[in-house]
Amino acid sequence: MNKQKILIVGAGLSGVVIARLLGEAGYKVSVVDARSHIAGNCHSARDEETGVMVHKYGPHIFHTNNEEVWRFVKNFAEFMPYINRVKSTVNDKVYSLPINLHTINQFFEKALSPKEAVEFIEQLGDRSIDNPQTFEEQALRFVGKDLYEAFFKGYTKKQWGLEPSLLPASILKRLPVRFNYDDNYFNHKFQGMPKDGYTDLVENILKHPNIEVSLSCKINRDDIKEYHHVFYSGALDEWFGYQEGRLGYRTLDFEEIREEGDFQGCAVMNYGDENVPFTRIAEHKYFSPWEEHDKTVAFREYSRECGEKDIPYYPIRLVGEQSMLRRYVELAKKEKNISFIGRLGTYRYLDMDVTIEEAMRAARAFLAAREQGQRVPVFFVEPI
Ligand code: UDP
């Protein structure tokens, strides 16, 4: 039996998946989290008044192409069928997202067939843009000015606080454009929602005799000495006392709406107009379509620059941040017995399935390194 002690900082998906795999391998694992709950930003809890399962840090929809990840999560929670279908309100009209044949026909008041729509959109796209680098170029190349301005420009400016001409094309590449009526927001093979919420899923992952969890517990350098290895899923810059500056994040504010019956009739309604100050409204009972609730609770979501006291959500990763990130990576590589993991530890925009997949790889790489007497990597995935 391996009695080595491992510390995992952060009880979000990265930390708990590693905790589980190392616990199963016989390590003694302590998981600590500064917050008073497990599950990080996918934490969910039932709303007292309505009984609705609320995603406390905004909508989380599980989707993946990775069968192993899908099997892993289904081992720890029952997953209910769920397809994310998002609408967008633009200029007082409601459209279907992601941009699909319905959106194109609604928007241009046409009745195009798939083939006609391909031709039509191609002729709207700016073909002088060969190799789109920015969000704006990507949009103009593939959907043209009108759809870009209606659905992407305002939303993106609100979400990122920046002109889309300054953002990388990769952000938009997350969203498909379809020439049929498929309005499933995701292209992945597997999609679903944990029946009793994400916190229940995470709690089950942590249920192992080799794992202990401490909440409301902030860790600093001196606390880690007694451990053989530390997996740190907190913010990379925070670990180094922000000595190179603060890596930029966007944070979110939620404004609660409570009503009898229904509020908007769907889970997520985006707002494309720049003059509407929020980006979207999520009505959480629609994330559990198998449940029935008489009352409803929804949240308007506002994005803004993340201040010192705020919860970081989306890493910005622009040019300035890239050079700062490089300096933090250099510092990190001088550390011993610590690995930086996950969204905050590697400063990347990660979906839940990728987070789990990377955590599995990290745990396996750790076990292999230990077996071969090699040094455990500081990063399992390079942040740059
Ligand atoms: N986006 C947009 N309009 C929309 C939805 C998304 O312009 O109606 C852009 C926006 O820049 C956003 C990105 O596409 O940050 C990725 O969207 P996604 O829905 O994947 O964002 P998330 O749910 O992760 O916030």
Instruction: Identify residue 365 by its one-letter amino acid code.
Output: A
Is there a domain that residue 159 lies in?
A: yes
Same domain, 91 and 78: no
Q: Who wins on pLDDT, 175 or 61?
A: 61
Q: How far apart are CA 191 and CA 89, in angstroms?
A: 25
Whole-number Å distance, alpha carbon 55 to ligand 1 midpoint, is 18
Same domain, 62 and 92: no
Q: How far apart are CA 228 and CA 62, in angstroms?
A: 33
Q: Number of folded domains in the chain?
A: 2
Same domain, 10 and 60: yes
User: How many other C-beta atoms lie within 10 A of the C-beta of residue 352?
Assistant: 21
> Two tokens at 58?
């905004």
Same domain, 166 and 229: no
Contact partners, residue 57, CB within 8 Å, separation at least 6: 40, 41, 42, 43, 252, 311, 313
Residue 151 has pLDDT above 90, yes or no: yes
Is there a domain that residue 145 lies in?
A: yes
Rounded mean pLDDT of the chain? 97
Query: What per-residue confidence (pLDDT) applies to 43?
Result: 98
Report residue 384's pLDDT band, with 50, 70 and 90 as the boundaries. confident
Is there a domain that residue 146 lies in?
A: yes
User: How many other C-beta atoms lie within 10 A of the C-beta of residue 273?
Assistant: 16
Query: What per-residue confidence (pLDDT) applies to 1?
Result: 53
Q: How far apart are CA 228 and CA 321, in angstroms?
A: 32
DSSP state of 317: -
Same domain, 53 and 38: yes
Same domain, 164 and 219: no
Whole-number Å distance, alpha carbon 13 to ligand 1 midpoint, is 22
Residue 216 domain boundaries: 5-83+195-243+317-372
Q: What is the CATH number of the domain that holds 125?
A: 1.10.3110
Whole-number Å distance, alpha carbon 265 to ligand 1 midpoint, is 20
Please name the residue whose Cα sits nearest to atom 24 of ligand 1: 351
Cβ of 97 below 6 Å from ligand 1: yes
- pLDDT cut 90: percent of the chain above it: 96
Query: What per-residue confidence (pLDDT) applies to 121?
Result: 97
- pLDDT cut 70: percent of the chain above it: 99
Cβ of 186 below 6 Å from ligand 1: no
Angular region, 39: left φ>0, alpha ψ -120 to 50, beta rest: left
Question: Of 172, 205, 235, which one is at a domain's C-terminal end?
Answer: 172
Cβ of 156 below 6 Å from ligand 1: yes
Is there a domain that residue 345 lies in?
A: yes
Same domain, 15 and 160: no
Length of the chain (residues): 384
3-state secondary structure of 65: coil
Whole-number Å distance, alpha carbon 195 to ligand 1 midpoint, is 25
DSSP state of 210: T
Is there a domain that residue 10 lies in?
A: yes
pLDDT in tens, 19-73: 999 999 999 999 999 999 999 999 999 999 999 999 999 999 999 999 999 999 9
Is there a domain that residue 258 lies in?
A: no
Same domain, 236 and 342: yes
Residue 213 has pLDDT above 80, yes or no: yes
Cβ of 71 below 6 Å from ligand 1: no
Q: How far apart are CA 159 and CA 180, in angstroms?
A: 28
Is there a domain that residue 160 lies in?
A: yes
Helix 352-371 crosses helix 13-24 at what angle (to 10 degrees)? Answer: 40
Residue 318 has pLDDT above 70, yes or no: yes
Question: Of 172, 205, 228, which one is at a domain's C-terminal end?
Answer: 172
Query: What per-residue confidence (pLDDT) applies to 174?
Result: 86
> Two tokens at 330?
């250099």
Query: What per-residue confidence (pLDDT) applies to 209?
Result: 98
The residues that are catalytic are 174, 178, 250, 280, 301, 349, 351
Residue 353 has pLDDT above 80, yes or no: yes
Residue 100 has pLDDT above 70, yes or no: yes
pLDDT in tens, 272-283: 999 999 999 999
pLDDT in tens, 281-312: 999 999 999 999 999 999 999 999 999 999 99
Question: Of 123, 140, 172, which one is at a domain's C-terminal end?
Answer: 172
Q: How far apart are CA 130 and CA 126, in angstroms?
A: 9
Contact partners, residue 294, CB within 8 Å, separation at least 6: 50, 260, 261
Please name the residue whose Cα sits nearest to atom 14 of ligand 1: 172
Compute the average pLDDT of residues 236-262.
97
Compute the average pLDDT of residues 125-149.
95
Compute the average pLDDT of residues 145-164.
97
Mutate to test the pocket of ligand 1, among 61, 84, 156, 276 (most ligand atoms within 8 A of CB): 156
Q: What is the CATH number of the domain that holds 9?
A: 3.40.50.720
Compute the average pLDDT of residues 314-338.
94
Of all atoms in ligand 1, which is nearest to the CA of residue 97?
8
Same domain, 92 and 70: no
Whole-number Å distance, alpha carbon 156 to ligand 1 midpoint, is 7
User: How many other C-beta atoms lie within 10 A of the C-beta of residue 162?
Assistant: 14
Same domain, 148 and 17: no
Query: What per-residue confidence (pLDDT) applies to 40?
Result: 98
Same domain, 52 and 21: yes
Please name the residue whose Cα sits nearest to atom 2 of ligand 1: 152
Query: What per-residue confidence (pLDDT) applies to 321?
Result: 87
Cβ of 347 below 6 Å from ligand 1: no
Is there a domain that residue 107 lies in?
A: yes
Same domain, 28 and 128: no
